[in-house]
Amino acid sequence: MKKKWLIALSLSVLFYACSKNNTNERPDTRQVQIPFKVSVAEFIKKVQQLPSASGRMAPSSIFAKDSTLNTAVSDIYFFAFKNNGDRISYIHQRSTDADFGVISDSLPSGECTIALIASSDSLIISDELRNAGINLNADYNNNTILAAFPDIFYKKMQITVGPDTTANNFSLSLERIMASLEVNITDAPAIRADSNITVNVRSENTYFEIFSAWAYTGIPMQLKIPQRTQQLFSELIMNTSEEIRIDINYPDKVTNTMLTKTIGPITLTKNTKTILTGSLYPAIPPVTNVNSGFSVSINNIWNPAQTIDF
């Protein structure tokens, strides 16, 4: 009996020793959170509109508006990522917040990647652990874009968060990732309720991945360019990486048959306004042949599918 008791005691001591050793060898996964601050306040004060059609800059006030753009920054989005792309922090600020433009957070010590987005209107943010990004407002079931992206500014950088908190303060200036497209139709008829002229970009980017800074479209969808004045159609476009084509659909003046004029391919550039100017209804050539009282003229708009330089 005494021998059995000694064996049991020995096994208990051995089990306790092994358990204690395993506990000591388990790595400590806790990370110290260190205060961190990044400011874009100075950038916000300097935001300007894209150049107007005449080449002049709009007023420097961030609240200045014109018929096509409003670059007053209304929302700021802050992301912090591990170097493998996993999101570790997300903060959204609105212009009504008292600390708007200054992000205060606590991040683990060591290297990480931060990204900031500022926009002239609220964005549809996908803040998953992986592939966080900005979604276009679209009906993906019907492949229809419901609203274009607002003006968007972006900056990504790799930082090292250390114990010296004074070194963890950063001031950033963001860069516009949008292009502006203007289509001026010099002979567009007066705007009416039954106006049939439409301008469409064939394929706009529908998603911007924040960590990789990659803009793309999973399902090609055309974006309707709003008519701002009688002759001007304009919108902000995110697709600045792929060639695009613009389709102008308009009625024939005589038959009212719908025709299409295609412009492109062209490539838009970030932070640049691209202006396309042309006419839909070229003048009919003067009568050159008269035979037995009949006049003959040529209407060279007959093929609605051809691509015509605008």
C-beta atoms surrounding 150 within 10 Å: 18
- Residue 306 pLDDT exceeds 60: no
Band of residue 193 on the pLDDT scale cut at 50, 70, 90? low
Q: Which residue has the higher pLDDT, 11 or 131?
A: 131
Residue type, 285: P
The Cα 95–Cα 74 span in angstroms is 5
CA dihedral sign of residues 286, 288, 293, 296: negative
Band of residue 81 on the pLDDT scale cut at 50, 70, 90? very high
The predicted structure's pLDDT at residue 97: 94
With 0-12 / 13-18 / 19 or more C-beta atoms within 10 angstroms meaning exposed / middle / buried, residue 208 is buried
Q: Find, among 49, 95, 58, the residue nearest to 73 by Cα.
A: 95
Residue 308 in tokens: 């015509």
Cα separations in angstroms, 223 against 137, 198, 229, 251, 299: 11, 11, 18, 20, 30
- pTM, whole model, 2 decimals? 0.76
